[in-house]
Amino acid sequence: MRVLGIETSCDETGVAVYDTDRGLLAHALYSQIALHAEYGGVVPELASRDHVRKLLPLVRQTLAEAGLAASDLDGVAYTAGPGLVGALMVGAAAGRALAWALEVPAVGVHHMEGHLLAPLLEDPSLRPPFVALLVSGGHTQLVEVDGIGAYRLLGETLDDAAGEAFDKTAKLMGLPYPGGPQLAALAETGRPGAFTFSRPMTDRPGLDFSFSGLKTQVLLAWQQSDRSEQTRADIARGFEDAVVETLAIKCRRALEQTGIHTLVVAGGVGANLRLRAMLQAMAEKRGGRVRFPRPAFCTDNGAMIAFAGALRLMAGQHEDAGVHVTPRWDMAALPEVASDRA
């Protein structure tokens, strides 16, 4: 089954073609970073308009790279939520119209389920049960995965997501948009231990997160410092170490609590090299394993939507002829595809 995947939940336009027999055939991504940089953050109306301009050319490009015509497609998957409503509507309307014209089924995909399943895209041996850390600019969640669509939320952020905290901290220290990757790069030249910040909510039981207080600690440290470039790098390193260690502590607790030995990490912050190294060391010490998607598939992309959509289309799930999006969507409400327990 050849499935076209469309991702337009926020500020990146992603398109891919996934073949259930041959794997990923082609994918393309357009980022709106330059468009939103002037404003220091995503402007929803501008994001929607840019998706309108870029989506169909990307579809044509991706089909050409896959060596396919539109008529060769067997299904269409598009991000139906969560996300910016206008941006979601662009992808949903285009995807549903294309499916209608080709007389093939279409399915709306949950954006976070796409991220959660991204590591399986290139590692067919990876099967539930596992614990997933979904860590991005909009979400920080620990989820117990017993099968495709069988999800139990273990813990989540009570305020800022980890990626959001990275971006806001970078902005308050004067780093350019998008701040998260800039801060992580700056932290590479920071001195370990020069600044030490708290590991939020690790001194109490539970698997929830909170990063807003950490952001405030960094602000105070920056305001009271000499604001030199080395100090900026040292603070960035202290902040990154605090976030990474907090995530690792909570992941270890989740594995211990569930008795599961496999951890899957997905979402934009999952590309952070220090986080990858710490989680790898933690998993190996426990005799378990951790799996990440390639860095290009950590951020929003069409490949994860094509793959997740293909799993649901193969299970017979599809949408009616209407165009439906769900800007706020609880992943626990998704129907189960099948039992994938190893």
Do 285 and 308 fall into the same domain? no
The predicted pLDDT at position 111 comes to 96
CA atoms within 13 A on the CB side of 259: 1
Tell me the binding residues for Fe cation. Answer: 111, 115, 300
Question: What is the per-residue DSSP string for 118-166?
Answer: HHHHH-TT--SSEEEEEESSS-EEEEEEEEBTEEEEEEEBSSS-HHHHH
Residues 160 and 265 in one domain: yes
Contact 50, 13 (CB under 8 A): yes
Whether 342 maps to a domain, the answer reads no
**Cβ atoms within 10 Å of 202's Cβ, excluding its own:** 16
Q: Does pTM surpass 0.85?
A: yes
- Looking at residue 124, its pLDDT comes to 82
Question: Do 309 and 116 touch, CB atoms closer than 8 A?
Answer: no
- Domain presence at residue 176: yes
CATH number of the CATH domain containing 179: 3.30.420.40
pLDDT of residue 128: 93
Q: Burial letters for 39-50: b for 16+ Cβ neighbours within 10 Å, e otherwise?
A: eeebbeebbbbb
∠ Cα 200 142 144 (to 5°): 150
Q: Does residue 54 lie within any of the structural domains?
A: yes
Per-residue pLDDT of the chain (342 residues; tens, 9 = 90+): 999 999 999 999 999 999 999 999 999 999 999 999 999 899 999 999 999 999 999 999 999 999 999 999 999 999 999 999 999 999 999 999 999 999 999 999 999 999 999 999 988 889 999 999 999 988 899 999 999 999 999 999 999 999 999 999 999 999 998 899 999 999 999 999 999 999 999 999 999 999 999 999 999 999 999 999 999 999 999 999 999 999 999 999 999 999 999 999 999 999 999 999 999 999 999 999 999 999 999 999 999 999 999 999 999 999 898 999 999 999 989 999 865 433
How many other CB atoms are found less than 10 A from the CB of residue 33? 12
Do 126 and 120 form a contact (C-beta atoms < 8 A)?
Answer: yes
For residue 94, give the nearest of 62, 127, 116 by alpha carbon.
62
Confidence (pLDDT) at 339: 53
Question: Could you tell me if 139 and 271 lie in one domain?
Answer: yes
Same domain, 102 and 131: no
How confident is the model at residue 122, as a pLDDT? 86
- 340 is a domain residue: no
162-172 vs 179-187: helix crossing angle, rounded to 10: 80
3-state DSSP percent of the chain in helix, strand and coil, to 5: 45, 20, 35
Buried b (16+ CB within 10 A) or exposed e, 226-235: eeeeebbbbb
> CA–CA separation, 123 vs 294, rounded Å?
11
Residue set of the binding site: 111, 115, 134-138, 167, 180, 272, 300
Nearest to 162 by CA among 42, 255, 250: 250
Domain residues for 268?
Answer: 127-292
Q: Determine contact, residues 6/91, Cβ cutoff 8 Å.
A: yes
Positions at the binding site for substrate: 134-138, 167, 180, 272
What domain count does the chain have? Answer: 2
